[in-house]
Structure 1
């Protein structure tokens, strides 16, 4: 039998959302480190894996709170979707970093410029998202967040398309193309997932308006 706890205005959900989003900032910065000369790629990959495990744990804490709180501060379905989608972003960031390590792509003379552009868009999306999560309490000053996050997703899409053009231009051998495209797919999926987070926040704000 579920034991309902006495209702509190936030019941810890906002702190968990914020922690999850802060992990995304750290994850995006770790991806950016992969382009630094002399970086320990294995160490970066391992740190991303640890971060992904922590984000999984946060997501499970959110799900448990949904089931054990009589009156959560937001719609239960919205809480679940937000927690799950934040975790999805971390999954894609970790996958991209792990693939760069396993495929040995940092041994190339340089990663394509468009991959750096994708990571830069992701970093900006992560920082915007981390700043927005605490504002869910008041629902104030969120509109600019989801507008800018969506704009950055469009930038990421543009960088992804230009990367595909480069990959299929003959500049790289076929095996390298396959490896880099898999990494690019994960980065583009992370950009999309950030946009999904922003869309969920917009939905929540409209409901509370």
Structure 2
């Protein structure tokens, strides 16, 4: 009994999830501002730096969670669920940074309305993920469970919206005979990256739904 009391319990995982989700939202907001101010080189650089910082902060939380899994005796939810959730969340932050880096590396010349729309949908998805994560500590309460599942449904709907925007963007891109081939390749890559952000948010929602169903 004494041995059990001396071993670490809980590991503050829910708070760490919240911190990671908050950093991911910071990255998503900074990316949206990067897109909105793309023609201003100074602001573009500023928001790129903000994306990088938020992603690094999120990555630090991911490492902390994965370390805590191994040193915590009793965890609030299954260890595999903790591992799946934090690493899927981290994929979202990584993809936001990848999108910003790819736009810089490919020297994208201008922002299309589809890039703007996909960035907005990605930000909304990240915000809904943050809300769903914030509800996890109280999923034993029926009202909280219902609210969390509803938020996961909203993420699924946003992912569907992003998928439709991406399909229309691709159709428009390949029907435009006047577009430069290199620019076409650049935009195609950006569209795909931005749509994958919402895909990964949907993956996070699926993990959260699994946690709720097994623990509520």
TM-score if structure 1 supplies the norm length? 0.91
**1:112/1:163 contact within 8 Å kept:** no
Provide the C-alpha distance between the structure 2 equivalents of 1:85 and 1:172, rounded to a whole number of angstroms. 36
Tell whether 2:212 aligns with 1:205. Answer: yes
Provide the C-alpha distance between the structure 2 equivalents of 1:42 and 1:103, rounded to a whole number of angstroms. 15
**In structure 2, what is the equivalent of residue 145 of structure 1?**
151
Of residues 68, 72, 75, the one that matches 1:65 is 68
**1:42/1:101 contact within 8 Å kept:** no
Provide the C-alpha distance between the structure 1 equivalents of 2:8 and 2:55, rounded to a whole number of angstroms. 31
**In structure 2, what is the equivalent of residue 102 of structure 1?**
105
Tell whether 2:167 aligns with 1:169. Answer: no
Tell whether 2:198 aligns with 1:196. Answer: no
Provide the C-alpha distance between the structure 2 equivalents of 1:7 and 1:95, rounded to a whole number of angstroms. 36
Deviations along 1:19-64, one digit per CA (max 9) or x if unpaired, are 1111121111111112225252222222222222211111110001
SS in 2 for 1:118: helix
Of residues 46, 50, 59, the one that matches 1:47 is 50
Provide the C-alpha distance between the structure 2 equivalents of 1:102 and 1:136, rounded to a whole number of angstroms. 38
**Shift of residue 163 of structure 1?**
1.0
**Shift of residue 82 of structure 1?**
0.4
**Shift of residue 196 of structure 1?**
0.3
**Aligned residues, how many?**
201
SS in 2 for 1:6: coil
**In structure 2, what is the equivalent of residue 159 of structure 1?**
165
Provide the C-alpha distance between the structure 2 equivalents of 1:58 and 1:166, rounded to a whole number of angstroms. 40
Tell whether 2:92 aligns with 1:89. Answer: yes
**In structure 2, what is the equivalent of residue 33 of structure 1?**
33
Q: Give the aligned CA root-mean-square deviation in angstroms.
A: 1.5
Deviations along 1:1-20, one digit per CA (max 9) or x if unpaired, are xxx73324xx3101111111
Structure showing the higher helix proportion among its residues: 2
**1:41/1:101 contact within 8 Å kept:** no
Q: Which runs of 5+ in 1 are unaligned?
A: none
More moved, 190-199 vs 132-141 = 132-141
